[in-house]
Structure 1
Amino acid sequence: MTNTQPTANPESCVATTLHSGPADCLEGDCDELVTEDGEPTGVTWCSHVTTQEACGTHSEFTTDEWEYCTKAVPWPHLTATTPSTEES
């Protein structure tokens, strides 16, 4: 059986939501977000955008015009461990 244990102090980790997809969708220019008349459809994110929870503390980011995640560390920040085989 495999257990998971935090790799860092949970208080030092901060959850953040990452959005990824085509630039026009992230900028709100997707056909699913506005009608032909330019009116909002009421949809927040189109079907072309995916989201994932990541650890904002341990992930790596860079900025240009947008802030990009260059290395996403999953949230919660866990690692798999195997139980000890020692007998008591």
Structure 2
Amino acid sequence: MCTQLERDMTTPTYHSNARAPGRVQPSVRVTARDQHWVEFEFSLGDPALYVELVMRPEQFSAFCAAQRALTVSQQLGRELERERGKWSETVA
């Protein structure tokens, strides 16, 4: 049996259209997609700071809707990759 805290953590939260003051904008950047899976980066505020996630397409759509996430443009995605490449070159 779940405690109240565990139940709250697993229950999806849906927010109204109004954004709270100071709330950061969630964004997603799809890195790979096929019939069964969507691989993507999820960030809050700064797309350069992200977590990588994998979900089924229907879960991905529901996740994006629940988070009210914007999709990172291909141009911004290429710029982010170039910046990451610079860091990789300095570490090697």
Normalising by structure 1, report the TM-score: 0.24
> Structure 1 or 2: larger strand share?
1
Structure of larger gyration radius = 1
> Structure 1 or 2: larger helix share?
2
Higher relative contact order (CA 8 A, sep 6+): 1
